[in-house]
Amino acid sequence: MTNRNPDLSLRLVGEQSEVAVVTLNRAAKRNALNDGLILALRDLFQNLPEGVRAAVVHGSGDHFCAGLDLSELSERDAAQGVLHSRMWHSALDCVEKGTVPVIAALHGAVVGGGLELASACHIRVADESTFYALPEGTRGIFVGGGGSVRVPKLIGVARMTDMMLTGRVYNAADGERIGLAQYLVPGGSALDKGIELATRIAANAPMTNFALMHALPRIAEQPADHGLFTEALMASVAQSAPEAKARVRAFLEGKAAKVQKS
């Protein structure tokens, strides 16, 4: 692994070290994301160890992440500002469109760039202490880490506009209700739940995970006719993988789990 930034750590869990647990380690600064930490995230997700099949991102201390490190918001001209935002884009693209599904395990503040990081993940698990905000509006700036593309996909343009115009803060329960997180769990249990889900995801056929990460979001943005064609191509690729054939055969032979009523 190329990451040597002490503000970011990686540990492998699971019977075959198949789950990567990525920890933001800047609790004294509420895990605010400075340039070094953003680049370390990019490097880490570009170079996950072989054998890793799913990842969980969480924050140390009382908060997930306080967003952009405001102490680095120095004088930049327009071109430098664009390049800085593009650096965030490339790092968070490595999270969203990397090699494995990523779960954000949330607690405390998930604000500004912290929400942008969380929204680049595929699943968000929030504990009861979680709160969400986009204080960029009140700081006189704008989102720059992909938030204007990803957050409206979760909650819609109207809710994001309200968060930024009025400084509205959503608590954990309301966050789950509007779609900021898919799971709401008791205080202190988001990381455990995230690892549990990641372990389950790691056991999927790799082609299924690939299709969900790389085909589904693109299909959702295609015109229906194109989307249906892409879906057919992806379905055919997935079905023809030997692992899919083996899994279907196992079910037909009564050797695989049935879907259980929840």
Tell me how far apart the alpha carbons of residues 165 and 79 are, in angstroms, rounded to a whole number: 26
Give the number of other Cβ atoms within 10 Å of residue 210's Cβ: 18
Tell the smallest beta-carbon distance from residue 188 to ligand 1HE (Å).
Answer: 17
Identified binder of ligand 1HE from the candidate list 14, 59, 112, 137, rule CB under 6 A: 112
Identified binder of ligand 1HE from the candidate list 8, 40, 56, 66, rule CB under 6 A: 66
The β-bridge relationship of strands 19-24 and 54-59 is parallel
3-state secondary structure of 22: strand
Q: Does 202 bind ligand 1HE (CB under 6 A)?
A: no
128 part of the active site: no
Query: Under a CB-based contact definition with an 8 Å cutoff, are residues 157 and 129 in contact?
Result: no
Binding mask 153-192 for ligand 1HE (x = CB under 6 A): ----------------------------------------
Give the number of other Cβ atoms within 10 Å of residue 245's Cβ: 11
The answer for residues whose C-beta is within 8 angstroms of residue 136's C-beta and 6 or more apart is 112, 142, 143, 164
Identified binder of ligand 1HE from the candidate list 7, 69, 127, 176, rule CB under 6 A: 69
Q: Does 107 bind ligand 1HE (CB under 6 A)?
A: no
Q: Does 14 bind ligand 1HE (CB under 6 A)?
A: no
Q: Does 8 bind ligand 1HE (CB under 6 A)?
A: no
Tell me how far apart the alpha carbons of residues 49 and 22 are, in angstroms, rounded to a whole number: 12
Q: Does 132 bind ligand 1HE (CB under 6 A)?
A: no
Backbone torsions φ then ψ of 103, nearest 5 degrees: -110, 135
Identified binder of ligand 1HE from the candidate list 60, 139, 152, 205, rule CB under 6 A: 139
136 part of the active site: yes
Beta bridge partners of 171: 131
Tell me how far apart the alpha carbons of residues 33 and 47 are, in angstroms, rounded to a whole number: 20
Tell the smallest beta-carbon distance from residue 262 to ligand 1HE (Å).
Answer: 35
Unique residue bearing structure tokens 């969480």: 58
Binding mask 141-160 for ligand 1HE (x = CB under 6 A): x-xxx---------------
Query: Under a CB-based contact definition with an 8 Å cutoff, are residues 24 and 8 in contact?
Result: yes
Task: Tell me the window of 3-11, 74-82, 94-102, 136-144 that interacts with ligand 1HE (CB under 6 A).
Answer: 136-144
Give residues 31-50 in contact with ligand 1HE (rule: CB under 6 A). Answer: 32
Beta bridge partners of 131: 109, 171
Active centre residues (catalytic) = 116, 136
Q: Which residues bind ligand 1HE (CB under 6 A)?
A: 29-30, 32, 62-63, 66-71, 88, 109, 111-113, 135-136, 139, 141, 143-145
